[in-house]
Every structure is written in structure tokens, then in C-alpha cells.
Amino acid sequence: MKGQHDDQLSFETGTGYLLARLGSLAERSWIGILRRHNLTPTQHAVLLALRERGTLGQQALSRLIAVDPRNVVPILDGLVDQQLIDRHIDPSDRRRRVINLTETGRSAANDLAKSATDIETDFLHGLAPADRTELNRLLRALHASLTP
């Protein structure tokens, strides 16, 4: 009896190919979440960073999400326009801008986090829980080795 992968080409079993193909499939789901919320990937990062860390200064937020501080203003402007964040001057240091989630932003961030968990669960359904944990560990190690 033939297996379901008997007609698979050899390049389709390469790690790079598999990472690229699976990444493309995962990205489609992730982009769907962002579109439903009318967000860019960087705006998504802002919301989830604020959800996890709480109120942050604009400079600290820029470093955390790896965006040049000069480029973060239009990203934040879009989130202010959607009433997802508040941005105000720090009363203790008038040169500093402080960013925090609004109630609407907190709700959106919670929904984003839940949607991401649901997509990951669905995406990894073919793996046992221990294999999911090991895959995550290996991917984090690989990512750490390739990023500055």
C-alpha cells in the first residue's frame, strides 16, 4: 500500500523548504487576524507589548518592538485614531511620551492573543503536546542564533 507522501519530491522534505512552506501557511492565518482588526503587524506588536508590559514610554516601546523611534509616531497615530491606545505627556518628565491601552485596546489585544492561540492550536493539531513544546524550543533556539 502506498503512503500519502510516496509521490513527494525530494526537495519537499528539506528543512528550509518545510519552514518556508509552513511559514507561508501560518502567515495566512495571522494576516487574517490582522485584517479583521484593521491592524498592521507592527500595530499588533504594540498592542501585545502594552498588554504584556503595561504602560510604557514611547522610547522603551520603540526598543521593545524593534522600531526606530522616529518611525513609531505614525504607527501610534493609527492606534490613537482607532482609540486603541492613549498617548500623553509624562507629568514627571514633559519630554517623555507615555503609551497605554484604552479599554477598547485592551479588549482588542486580548482578542488578538486568543485568536493567535486558537490558530496555533489548530495549526499544530497533528503534533502531540510534548512535540509542540519541543518544536517551540527548537524554533526559539534557531531564532536566537540567527538574530542579533
Q: What is the pLDDT of residues 88-113, one digit of tens each?
A: 998 888 888 999 999 999 999 999 99
Domain ranges of the chain: 39-146
Helices 15-37 and 103-123 meet at what angle, rounded to 10? 150
Pairing mode, strands 93-101 and 56-57: antiparallel
45 vs 109: CA distance, rounded Å: 10
**What CATH number has the domain spanning 39-146?**
1.10.10.10
Q: Which helix (H) or strand (E) element contains residue 17?
A: helix 15-37
124 vs 87: CA distance, rounded Å: 38
139 vs 61: CA distance, rounded Å: 25
**Structure confidence at residue 13 (pLDDT):** 81
Mean of all residue pLDDT scores within the chain: 91
